[in-house]
Amino acid sequence: MTSRPGALRDELFENLRIELRSGVLIVATLAQLREEQYGYTLRKSLADIGMDIDESTLYPLLRRLENQGLLTSEWREENSRRKRFYRLSREGKVMLDALLDEWSGINRALNRILRKVA
């Protein structure tokens, strides 16, 4: 019985963490794809900079961003294996700049709130 509130809190934290990260992951993915990469290396490069993303989340996300016209992709052979390379589209670049502006605004606002509380 004593572990239940803790488990509930962990679950709640996990849900909130996922919500918080989901938007940021889109920005991070778009930013990382300013340079062409395929899914596997993209996931690794995101993990290397501390933005771990589950593979079953990454690929559907890439597909969605491509359908929205923010990414372009092409199948190419590398090391005798066919791989799908993604890159930010022109529309994606515009969108990324807009999202980064928005992110900076949110960040500034949040910092002001936190300073006031402190």
Partner 1 sequence: MTLLKQYVNAVRMYLPKGPQQDDILSELSEHLQSKMDEEEEALGRPLTEVEQEALLTQHGNPAMVAARYGAPRRSVAFGWQLIGPELFPLYFRILLLNWATTLIVVPLIREFGQIIPRLGFWPFAGPMLAQLVIVTLVFTSVDWFQRVAHRPSARASLPNWRFPPSYLQCIPRWQSLAGVMLFGVTSIWWVLVPTKPVLMLGPASTSLEFSSSTTSLYWVALALLLISTAQRATTLVRPDWNWLQALTRLITNGSALVLLYPFAQSFPYVMVSAAAADPAKAAILALRVNSTIWWLAMGTMSIYWLINVAYHLWVCAQFLLYAGRRRAEQFS
C-alpha 64/C-alpha 113 separation (Å) is: 34
* Residue 55 interacts with partner 1 (CB under 8 A): yes or no: yes
Q: Name which position in 40, 52, 69, 90 contacts partner 1 (CB under 8 A).
A: 40
* Residue ranges in 73-92 that form contacts with partner 1 under rule CB under 8 A: 75, 81-84
Choice from 2, 4, 5, 56 touching partner 1 (CB under 8 A): 56
Distance between CA atoms of 64 and 60, rounded to whole angstroms? 6
Which lies closer to partner 1 via its Cβ, residue 55 or residue 102? 55
Handedness of CA 99, 103, 109, 110 (dihedral sign): positive
**How, if at all, do strands 71-78 and 37-38 pair?**
unpaired
CB of 86 to partner 1, least distance (A): 10
